[in-house]
Copies of this chain bind each other. A is one copy, B any other.
Amino acid sequence: MDLKRFDSLFQQRREGHSLPQSLYISPEAHDFDLSAIYGESWLAVGMDCELPRSGSYISLMVGKWPVLIVRDKHGDIRAFHNSCRHRGSIICQPGSGAAPKLVCPYHRWTYDLDGSLFAATRMPETFDKSDHGLKPVAIENIGGALFICLSETPPPIDDFREKLSAYAAPHNYKDMKLAHQNVLVEHANWKLVMENARECYHCPTGHPELGTSFPVGMSKHFDSKDEVQVESFETIMDSLGLAHTPVEGPWWQVARFPLNPGSNSISMDGQHLSKKLLYEGNGGNIGSMRFAVDPHSFSHSTADHVFLFSAMPIGPNETHAINKWYVHKDAVEGVDYHLPSMAELWDVTNLQDKELAENNHRGVNSLGYTPGPYSDEAEMLARRFVDWYCDKARDYIAAHVD
């Protein structure tokens, strides 16, 4: 990878404007982003509740990199590179499951749930099992939300841990279950998918369904124009002891904000999607607690359910949008919640965004493309994302270029 070429591309970047063309479309930029961004950032991969017992695992792909998340026999959650130390085979197929030990399907090398090599047949006496355990991946379990980092020197996470723990506490993540998940294939660069996900300038005309419950006309950092409504919301949240002030760090944001009047969930009709609430206070009307992690995710927690979106880069012009919906673990499908209704709003919204992002990608290929200006008022968070991306990339280049 020619880091000097990337250095010069990032120097060309015009402040307050979208990125130079080749950062969006070139195969080299895809490789660079995987290493410099996805390989060096904390990524939201799911929830503690998806691993209900010892031996439960999630096998997932971060781009082309297979990762395994496992609950060990002490109940702790660990993460490993999903690659056998013998000849490299993946050990668990992408998906989820449970097993008392981790057995490679190729030659039956067998690992304990803590990643140590338990057995490998037909190896010589000189072979040292303790040298051949699964390689660990950094993982954080923050109040039930799981974040991994593939880097050997992950970015500091203390501040995020403290804030998210506090803001997420009322939603009771550890008592949830995964109700539904799906993946949407978008033919657009992951950064265009994420810029789209970070602004609502396009929402009033692009997402009529979302606009029922979501304050699509907000500006900047989820600022509402209705000061009376905001003040009332803040007063109630304070009385309930629920944190709400927007807080942020270099690569994350956390806030609780009011939904549209009359709405208590982010859904087609603004009403709860699950009758079994995660938080019962104030009639289940506590707005949405949004957290967002750069480079790739955002999440909305309302009193009844949690939605988690993350984007995984597959190629220069292909991104997988992974969507997960969680409800209270005791909620009964068909009784407390109805699956098709649960997925409907984000499915329709994601399909609208997919079309917008794909249009964007096609147009960015234009011989006439020039980086254009973000609206500070309407696209503050998109600009913030792109600024973060450039800073992160420049740091990587500085650390790795000769």
The residues of A with any CB-CB pair to B shorter than 8 Å are: 18, 39, 64-66, 80-91, 93, 105-108, 121-124, 127, 132, 134-135, 137, 150, 195, 201-202, 205-206, 219, 355-356, 359-360, 362-378
What residues of chain B lie closer than 8 Å to A90, measured between beta carbons?
359-360, 362-363, 366
Q: Tell me the number of copies of this protein.
A: 3
- A39 CB, nearest partner CB in chain B, Å: 7
- A35 CB, nearest partner CB in chain B, Å: 9
Chain A binding surface, main DSSP class: loop
- A376 CB, nearest partner CB in chain B, Å: 6
- A217 CB, nearest partner CB in chain B, Å: 10
How long is the Cα–Cα vector from A364 to B83 in the complex, in angstroms?
7
Contact A356 B105 (CB under 8 A): yes
Contact of A201 among B107, B132, B370 (CB under 8 A): B107
Contact A362 B85 (CB under 8 A): no
| Nearest 7 CB-CB pairings of A with B | A81-B368, A83-B366, A135-B368, A90-B363, A122-B378, A83-B363, A88-B364
- A57 CB, nearest partner CB in chain B, Å: 15
How long is the Cα–Cα vector from A353 to B313 in the complex, in angstroms?
29
Contact A39 B367 (CB under 8 A): yes
What residues of chain B lie closer than 8 Å to A85, measured between beta carbons?
370, 372
Contact B375 A124 (CB under 8 A): yes
- Beyond A65-B365, A90-B360, A127-B373, 15 additional contacts (C-beta under 8 Å) are A18-B87, A65-B366, A80-B368, A85-B370, A88-B360, A88-B363, A88-B366, A89-B364, A90-B363, A93-B359, A105-B206, A122-B375, A134-B368, A135-B368, A137-B368
What residues of chain B lie closer than 8 Å to A135, measured between beta carbons?
368, 370
How long is the Cα–Cα vector from A109 to B333 in the complex, in angstroms?
44
How long is the Cα–Cα vector from A195 to B81 in the complex, in angstroms?
22
What residues of chain B lie closer than 8 Å to A363, measured between beta carbons?
66, 82-84, 88-91
